[in-house]
Amino acid sequence: MLQDHSAPSDLPLEDAGLTNTDPLIAPKAAGRSRLLLIPLLMFTLFSGAVIGMYFQPPGLRVFFNTTGLEPGAGTNAPIAVAIQQVVSQEQIAVISEGDVVSLGRIIPRGDVISVATPSGAGDARIAELRITIGDQVEAGEILAILDNLSHLQSAVASAQAALRFQEANLAQTRASNTASRAEAQASLERAQASANVAQSELDRITTLFERGVLTRASFDQTVASATKTARDVERAQATLSRYATGSETLQADIAVAVANMDASRATLASKRQDLDRAYVRAPIRGKVLNINVRPGERPGTEGIIDLGDISQMTVEAEVYQTMIGRVTIGDSAIISADALARDLTGTVSAIGLEIGRQSITSDDPAANTDARVVDVIVTLDATSSPLAAPFTNLETVVRIDAGRSP
């Protein structure tokens, strides 16, 4: 008897694991899901607490007022406030006392002077330095010599030689004129003597001719001779007049020689002035604060030497434009800095007339480096000035008593 293979089989289908109902596997999956919720819940609670403490909603403020608790773990400072509300106790005291606080720097009287090469020195290099840092120099003292000195000295020597030549030429012109005048005078005297002799002879011959003793030919010859000598006298007088004092000819000769000599003198003066361009001189009396070049180098835009009159030290304070109206000449000031042994004192001696950009900045990263300020000069008193002398350009805090009573 044959079996029917088309009837459904009593065996179960193959299980691919999708319907696994093992009681040990299901609890493990649920446990992992709950573990993932714990960090998320903690982050949510922490974020909510921080946000609530920062914004302090009305409900939270009522809670603090009711319980007497304060934010910030019992401290007097809130966790966060607006930037413009962050004011230190020192700043509050300053404002209440009416002081004006600004940043400043210590400078010598008249500021630091950068001594450059003389005008027209060109690309000359430093040949010799005659000073060292800390030297006290007088106004006009030679600080350095440039390498164009020998060239300029040669130009002066050449101009001196040219002047000597023109001086000799003028002397020769005057001597020549003197000699020519003497010779013309002698020629006139000789011509005059000859004319006198010829006139005497003419007088004698005329008498004889009138008596009929001499012929007409002899008389005419004597007349011609006398006329010639008279003309010689006239020519000699004309020649002598050329060399007379004040004559146009004499003045022209000497005037040319004098003009040439004056031109040579002017050239020499110019070359001597050029020679001074080889020397770097101190413009004021002061102390050498810094030397920016060495021998053999070409000076740069920063100058050769920094010079300052440290006999009187001052402080340049940069006061905000919103507070400058409270500062007046004569206000007392206190200057402080970590490098100073003690605070310095002084008096406001000058207030700038122009508003500019702040150039002295603090270490505070939140400071406004583009603030508009006015320069105020504080002159240090007799006891503070010597203490500030070694600290040129030291940044300080300047506290100006604006004269407003507390």
- With respect to residue 301, please indicate whether it lies within any of the assigned structural domains: no
- With respect to residue 119, please indicate whether it lies within any of the assigned structural domains: no
Same domain, 180 and 267: yes
- With respect to residue 144, please indicate whether it lies within any of the assigned structural domains: no
Enclosing domain of residue 104: 89-112+306-401
Each as own residue / partner, the long-range contacts of residues 171-174 (CB below 8 Å, 24 or more positions apart, any chain) are 173/253, 173/254, 173/256, 173/257, 174/254, 174/257
- pLDDT at position 5 over 50: no
From 257, 275, 293, the end of a domain falls on 275
- With respect to residue 231, please indicate whether it lies within any of the assigned structural domains: yes
pLDDT band (50, 70, 90) for residue 79: very low
From 44, 71, 86, the end of a domain falls on 86
Instruction: Identify any residues that bridge with 315 across adjacent strands, giving them in sequence order.
Output: 106, 378
Query: Distance from CA of residue 90 to its chain's centroid?
Result: 39
Which of 280, 256, 312 lies closest to 147, judged by CA? 280
Total domains, the chain: 3
Same domain, 223 and 314: no
Residue 173: what pLDDT? 82
Task: Give the pLDDT mean for 35-54.
Answer: 70
Q: Which residues of 187-200 are buried (b: 16+ CB within 10 A; e: fewer)?
A: bbeebbebbeebee
- pLDDT at position 76 over 60: no
* Lowest mean pLDDT across 2-6, 200-204, 310-314: 2-6
Same domain, 104 and 34: no
For residues 232 and 235, give the distance between their C-alpha atoms in angstroms, rounded to a whole number.
5
Same domain, 270 and 155: yes
- pLDDT at position 84 over 90: no
- With respect to residue 323, please indicate whether it lies within any of the assigned structural domains: yes
Same domain, 255 and 184: yes
What stretches of 25-148 show up as alpha helix (H) in DSSP?
Answer: 25-55, 58-67, 89-97
State pLDDT tens for residues 217-273.
888 888 888 888 888 888 877 777 776 665 545 567 788 888 999 999 999 999 988
177 CB-near residues (< 8 Å, 6+ apart) = 243, 250, 253, 254
Question: Which one-letter DSSP state was computed for residue 17?
Answer: S
Same domain, 225 and 310: no
Same domain, 332 and 248: no
Decide: 184 and 249 in contact? Cβ < 8 Å: no
Residue 19: what pLDDT? 47
Decide: 242 and 184 in contact? Cβ < 8 Å: yes
Residue 201: what pLDDT? 80
> What is the average pLDDT score of the chain?
78
Decide: 302 and 347 in contact? Cβ < 8 Å: no
Same domain, 154 and 261: yes
Same domain, 361 and 246: no
Task: Give the pLDDT mean for 192-196.
Answer: 84
- With respect to residue 7, please indicate whether it lies within any of the assigned structural domains: no
- With respect to residue 381, please indicate whether it lies within any of the assigned structural domains: yes
Q: Residue 192 sits in a domain of what CATH number?
A: 1.10.287.620
Same domain, 271 and 338: no
pLDDT band (50, 70, 90) for residue 212: confident
Same domain, 310 and 250: no
State pLDDT tens for residues 272-304.
888 888 999 999 999 999 999 999 888 888 889
Decide: 312 and 330 in contact? Cβ < 8 Å: no
State pLDDT tens for residues 308-351.
999 999 999 999 998 999 999 999 999 999 999 999 999 999 99
Does the model's pTM come out above 0.95? no
- With respect to residue 137, please indicate whether it lies within any of the assigned structural domains: no
Residue 175: what pLDDT? 81
Same domain, 93 and 69: no
pLDDT band (50, 70, 90) for residue 92: very low
